[in-house]
Structure 1
Amino acid sequence: MPEPYDELLDELRELLNEIDPVPAEVVEAAKASFTWRTVDAELAELTEDSALAEAAGIRGPGGPRLLTFEAPDLTVVVEVSAIGDRRRMLGQLVPPYAAEVEVRHRDGTETVSADDLGRFTVEQVPAGPVSFACRSASRRTVVTSWVTV
Protein backbone atom coordinates (compact mmCIF):
# COMPACT_ATOMS: atom_id res chain seq x y z
CA MET A 1 0.00 0.00 0.00
CA PRO A 2 1.50 3.39 -0.96
CA GLU A 3 2.43 5.87 1.70
CA PRO A 4 0.41 9.14 1.76
CA TYR A 5 3.24 11.19 0.26
CA ASP A 6 4.58 8.72 -2.32
CA GLU A 7 2.73 10.33 -5.22
CA LEU A 8 3.83 13.83 -4.19
CA LEU A 9 7.45 12.69 -3.80
CA ASP A 10 7.37 11.01 -7.24
CA GLU A 11 6.09 14.23 -8.84
CA LEU A 12 8.72 16.30 -7.02
CA ARG A 13 11.46 13.87 -8.11
CA GLU A 14 10.34 14.14 -11.74
CA LEU A 15 10.24 17.93 -11.56
CA LEU A 16 13.72 18.19 -10.06
CA ASN A 17 15.14 15.72 -12.60
CA GLU A 18 13.64 17.86 -15.37
CA ILE A 19 14.81 21.22 -13.99
CA ASP A 20 18.22 20.27 -12.63
CA PRO A 21 19.23 16.68 -13.52
CA VAL A 22 22.17 15.05 -11.79
CA PRO A 23 25.21 15.18 -14.09
CA ALA A 24 26.14 11.78 -15.55
CA GLU A 25 29.67 11.93 -14.11
CA VAL A 26 28.24 12.43 -10.60
CA VAL A 27 26.01 9.37 -11.01
CA GLU A 28 28.98 7.31 -12.24
CA ALA A 29 31.16 8.50 -9.34
CA ALA A 30 28.43 7.60 -6.85
CA LYS A 31 28.08 4.11 -8.32
CA ALA A 32 31.85 3.63 -8.31
CA SER A 33 32.05 4.67 -4.65
CA PHE A 34 30.09 1.55 -3.65
CA THR A 35 33.11 -0.51 -4.68
CA TRP A 36 35.11 1.08 -1.87
CA ARG A 37 32.69 -0.14 0.80
CA THR A 38 34.23 -3.60 0.58
CA VAL A 39 37.68 -2.81 -0.81
CA ASP A 40 39.32 -4.88 1.94
CA ALA A 41 36.92 -7.80 1.52
CA GLU A 42 37.83 -11.04 -0.19
CA LEU A 43 35.72 -11.84 -3.26
CA ALA A 44 34.10 -15.27 -3.49
CA GLU A 45 33.32 -16.12 -7.12
CA LEU A 46 30.47 -18.33 -8.24
CA THR A 47 32.07 -21.66 -9.18
CA GLU A 48 29.04 -23.96 -9.39
CA ASP A 49 25.39 -23.35 -10.23
CA SER A 50 23.00 -26.28 -10.58
CA ALA A 51 20.82 -24.18 -12.92
CA LEU A 52 23.64 -24.33 -15.47
CA ALA A 53 23.76 -28.12 -15.14
CA GLU A 54 20.00 -28.25 -15.77
CA ALA A 55 20.36 -26.06 -18.86
CA ALA A 56 23.09 -28.36 -20.17
CA GLY A 57 20.87 -31.40 -19.63
CA ILE A 58 23.19 -32.85 -16.99
CA ARG A 59 20.70 -32.49 -14.16
CA GLY A 60 16.93 -32.89 -14.27
CA PRO A 61 14.67 -29.86 -13.85
CA GLY A 62 12.99 -28.93 -10.60
CA GLY A 63 14.13 -29.09 -7.04
CA PRO A 64 16.22 -26.57 -5.19
CA ARG A 65 19.05 -24.72 -6.90
CA LEU A 66 22.55 -25.16 -5.46
CA LEU A 67 25.09 -22.31 -5.65
CA THR A 68 28.75 -22.57 -4.63
CA PHE A 69 30.96 -19.49 -4.16
CA GLU A 70 34.69 -19.90 -3.53
CA ALA A 71 37.30 -17.59 -2.03
CA PRO A 72 40.83 -18.62 -0.99
CA ASP A 73 39.85 -19.28 2.64
CA LEU A 74 36.09 -19.82 2.45
CA THR A 75 33.45 -21.64 0.44
CA VAL A 76 29.83 -20.49 0.68
CA VAL A 77 27.25 -23.08 -0.39
CA VAL A 78 23.64 -21.94 -0.73
CA GLU A 79 20.54 -23.99 -1.52
CA VAL A 80 17.81 -21.81 -3.05
CA SER A 81 14.15 -22.87 -3.08
CA ALA A 82 11.52 -20.90 -5.00
CA ILE A 83 8.32 -20.11 -3.14
CA GLY A 84 6.29 -18.02 -5.57
CA ASP A 85 8.19 -14.79 -6.23
CA ARG A 86 10.25 -15.21 -3.04
CA ARG A 87 13.27 -17.39 -2.28
CA ARG A 88 14.24 -19.43 0.79
CA MET A 89 17.98 -19.94 1.22
CA LEU A 90 19.81 -22.49 3.34
CA GLY A 91 23.52 -21.76 3.54
CA GLN A 92 26.73 -23.35 4.79
CA LEU A 93 30.14 -21.75 5.39
CA VAL A 94 33.09 -24.09 4.80
CA PRO A 95 35.16 -24.28 6.94
CA PRO A 96 32.38 -23.78 9.47
CA TYR A 97 32.43 -20.77 11.78
CA ALA A 98 29.98 -18.34 13.38
CA ALA A 99 29.47 -15.18 11.35
CA GLU A 100 27.01 -12.48 10.41
CA VAL A 101 25.76 -13.08 6.87
CA GLU A 102 24.35 -10.07 5.07
CA VAL A 103 22.12 -10.94 2.13
CA ARG A 104 22.00 -8.08 -0.35
CA HIS A 105 19.04 -8.03 -2.75
CA ARG A 106 16.97 -5.63 -4.82
CA ASP A 107 14.83 -4.53 -1.85
CA GLY A 108 17.79 -3.88 0.47
CA THR A 109 19.62 -6.17 2.85
CA GLU A 110 18.85 -8.75 5.50
CA THR A 111 21.36 -9.89 8.09
CA VAL A 112 21.22 -13.35 9.66
CA SER A 113 23.62 -15.26 11.90
CA ALA A 114 25.52 -18.35 10.85
CA ASP A 115 25.88 -20.70 13.82
CA ASP A 116 29.14 -22.29 15.02
CA LEU A 117 28.69 -24.97 12.34
CA GLY A 118 28.47 -22.28 9.64
CA ARG A 119 24.76 -22.85 8.91
CA PHE A 120 22.35 -20.03 8.12
CA THR A 121 18.80 -19.64 6.80
CA VAL A 122 17.26 -16.68 5.02
CA GLU A 123 13.50 -16.57 4.45
CA GLN A 124 11.51 -14.46 2.01
CA VAL A 125 14.22 -13.02 -0.24
CA PRO A 126 12.73 -11.45 -3.39
CA ALA A 127 13.54 -13.09 -6.71
CA GLY A 128 16.32 -11.27 -8.53
CA PRO A 129 20.01 -10.52 -7.97
CA VAL A 130 21.58 -11.46 -4.61
CA SER A 131 25.01 -11.35 -3.03
CA PHE A 132 26.25 -12.47 0.39
CA ALA A 133 28.71 -10.74 2.74
CA CYS A 134 30.14 -12.93 5.53
CA ARG A 135 31.58 -11.01 8.49
CA SER A 136 33.32 -12.22 11.62
CA ALA A 137 35.59 -10.49 14.13
CA SER A 138 38.20 -13.22 13.71
CA ARG A 139 38.23 -13.45 9.89
CA ARG A 140 38.46 -11.23 6.87
CA THR A 141 35.10 -10.24 5.32
CA VAL A 142 34.15 -12.34 2.29
CA VAL A 143 31.70 -10.98 -0.29
CA THR A 144 30.22 -13.18 -3.02
CA SER A 145 29.67 -12.19 -6.60
CA TRP A 146 26.09 -11.35 -7.58
CA VAL A 147 23.81 -14.03 -8.98
CA THR A 148 20.16 -13.91 -10.07
CA VAL A 149 17.88 -16.29 -8.19
Structure 2
Amino acid sequence: MSLNSDVGAVIAATVVPEHSRVQFLPAHLGRNMMMGEACIYGWLDRLSIDYNGGFWDFYTLSNGGFYMAPSGDKRFNIDVSGNGFSGEMSADAAGIVASLFGLCYLANRFGDDKSINQYHWLRDFAIEHAEAGLIMRAID
Protein backbone atom coordinates (compact mmCIF):
# COMPACT_ATOMS: atom_id res chain seq x y z
CA MET A 1 0.00 0.00 0.00
CA SER A 2 1.41 3.37 -0.99
CA LEU A 3 1.50 6.15 1.56
CA ASN A 4 1.20 8.69 -1.26
CA SER A 5 -2.28 10.17 -0.83
CA ASP A 6 -2.50 11.42 -4.42
CA VAL A 7 -2.48 8.08 -6.25
CA GLY A 8 -1.29 8.38 -9.83
CA ALA A 9 0.41 11.75 -9.34
CA VAL A 10 4.05 12.08 -10.30
CA ILE A 11 6.17 12.80 -7.24
CA ALA A 12 8.33 15.88 -7.74
CA ALA A 13 11.69 16.57 -6.08
CA THR A 14 12.71 20.14 -5.27
CA VAL A 15 16.20 21.14 -4.19
CA VAL A 16 16.21 22.95 -0.86
CA PRO A 17 17.64 26.47 -1.17
CA GLU A 18 20.71 27.30 0.90
CA HIS A 19 18.78 29.60 3.27
CA SER A 20 16.31 26.82 4.16
CA ARG A 21 18.80 24.02 4.85
CA VAL A 22 18.98 24.67 8.60
CA GLN A 23 15.28 23.77 9.02
CA PHE A 24 15.36 20.83 6.61
CA LEU A 25 16.64 17.97 8.79
CA PRO A 26 14.64 18.90 11.92
CA ALA A 27 11.48 19.05 9.79
CA HIS A 28 12.02 15.63 8.25
CA LEU A 29 13.86 13.68 10.94
CA GLY A 30 12.84 15.45 14.15
CA ARG A 31 14.86 14.43 17.19
CA ASN A 32 16.73 11.84 15.09
CA MET A 33 18.20 14.47 12.77
CA MET A 34 21.83 14.22 13.91
CA MET A 35 21.87 10.43 13.80
CA GLY A 36 19.94 10.36 10.52
CA GLU A 37 22.25 12.76 8.73
CA ALA A 38 25.38 10.93 9.86
CA CYS A 39 23.77 7.59 9.01
CA ILE A 40 23.00 8.64 5.42
CA TYR A 41 26.53 9.96 4.84
CA GLY A 42 27.90 6.80 6.45
CA TRP A 43 25.87 4.54 4.20
CA LEU A 44 27.28 6.08 1.05
CA ASP A 45 30.77 5.80 2.53
CA ARG A 46 30.19 2.06 3.12
CA LEU A 47 28.57 1.44 -0.25
CA SER A 48 30.97 3.30 -2.55
CA ILE A 49 34.74 3.50 -2.76
CA ASP A 50 34.16 6.56 -4.97
CA TYR A 51 32.70 8.62 -2.13
CA ASN A 52 35.14 10.75 -0.18
CA GLY A 53 32.93 13.43 1.36
CA GLY A 54 31.75 16.68 -0.15
CA PHE A 55 28.73 18.94 -0.37
CA TRP A 56 25.29 17.33 -0.48
CA ASP A 57 22.04 18.69 -1.88
CA PHE A 58 18.84 18.26 0.11
CA TYR A 59 15.56 17.56 -1.68
CA THR A 60 11.95 17.75 -0.56
CA LEU A 61 9.41 15.53 -2.27
CA SER A 62 5.87 16.56 -3.15
CA ASN A 63 4.51 13.53 -1.26
CA GLY A 64 6.05 14.69 2.05
CA GLY A 65 9.32 12.81 1.77
CA PHE A 66 12.92 13.88 1.34
CA TYR A 67 16.36 12.69 0.38
CA MET A 68 19.95 13.85 0.35
CA ALA A 69 22.43 13.37 -2.50
CA PRO A 70 26.02 14.38 -3.23
CA SER A 71 26.09 17.54 -5.29
CA GLY A 72 27.39 17.40 -8.86
CA ASP A 73 27.58 15.09 -11.84
CA LYS A 74 29.95 12.50 -10.40
CA ARG A 75 28.99 8.86 -10.86
CA PHE A 76 29.39 6.33 -8.07
CA ASN A 77 30.14 2.63 -8.12
CA ILE A 78 27.84 1.08 -5.52
CA ASP A 79 28.51 -2.34 -3.99
CA VAL A 80 25.99 -3.83 -1.57
CA SER A 81 27.55 -6.87 0.05
CA GLY A 82 24.27 -7.94 1.64
CA ASN A 83 22.51 -8.60 -1.67
CA GLY A 84 25.36 -8.86 -4.18
CA PHE A 85 24.42 -5.70 -6.10
CA SER A 86 27.24 -3.93 -7.92
CA GLY A 87 26.65 -1.10 -10.35
CA GLU A 88 27.34 2.48 -11.32
CA MET A 89 24.80 5.25 -10.81
CA SER A 90 24.47 9.01 -10.72
CA ALA A 91 25.11 11.01 -7.57
CA ASP A 92 21.36 11.56 -7.33
CA ALA A 93 20.56 7.84 -7.44
CA ALA A 94 23.42 7.04 -5.04
CA GLY A 95 22.04 9.61 -2.62
CA ILE A 96 18.60 8.05 -2.84
CA VAL A 97 20.09 4.63 -2.09
CA ALA A 98 22.05 5.97 0.89
CA SER A 99 18.98 7.87 2.12
CA LEU A 100 16.82 4.73 1.85
CA PHE A 101 19.36 2.67 3.78
CA GLY A 102 19.61 5.39 6.43
CA LEU A 103 15.84 5.77 6.75
CA CYS A 104 15.42 1.99 6.95
CA TYR A 105 17.91 1.92 9.81
CA LEU A 106 16.06 4.70 11.66
CA ALA A 107 12.68 3.05 11.08
CA ASN A 108 13.96 -0.27 12.41
CA ARG A 109 15.76 1.29 15.36
CA PHE A 110 13.00 3.60 16.54
CA GLY A 111 9.85 2.18 14.95
CA ASP A 112 8.28 5.63 14.83
CA ASP A 113 5.73 6.62 12.20
CA LYS A 114 7.85 9.58 11.04
CA SER A 115 10.82 7.41 10.01
CA ILE A 116 8.63 4.67 8.56
CA ASN A 117 6.62 7.15 6.48
CA GLN A 118 9.78 8.92 5.29
CA TYR A 119 11.18 5.60 4.05
CA HIS A 120 8.00 4.75 2.13
CA TRP A 121 7.61 8.24 0.65
CA LEU A 122 11.18 8.13 -0.66
CA ARG A 123 10.72 4.60 -1.98
CA ASP A 124 7.58 5.74 -3.83
CA PHE A 125 9.68 8.47 -5.46
CA ALA A 126 12.56 6.09 -6.21
CA ILE A 127 10.22 3.79 -8.15
CA GLU A 128 9.57 6.68 -10.55
CA HIS A 129 13.24 7.75 -10.85
CA ALA A 130 15.10 7.45 -14.15
CA GLU A 131 17.47 4.97 -12.46
CA ALA A 132 14.72 3.08 -10.63
CA GLY A 133 16.00 -0.34 -11.73
CA LEU A 134 19.44 0.26 -10.26
CA ILE A 135 18.04 1.81 -7.07
CA MET A 136 15.61 -1.05 -6.47
CA ARG A 137 18.28 -3.68 -7.08
CA ALA A 138 20.64 -1.89 -4.70
CA ILE A 139 18.09 -1.78 -1.85
CA ASP A 140 16.65 -5.26 -2.44
TM-score (norm 1): 0.27
Higher percent of residues as helix: 2
Decide which structure has greater strand share.
Answer: 1
The structure whose Rg is larger is 1
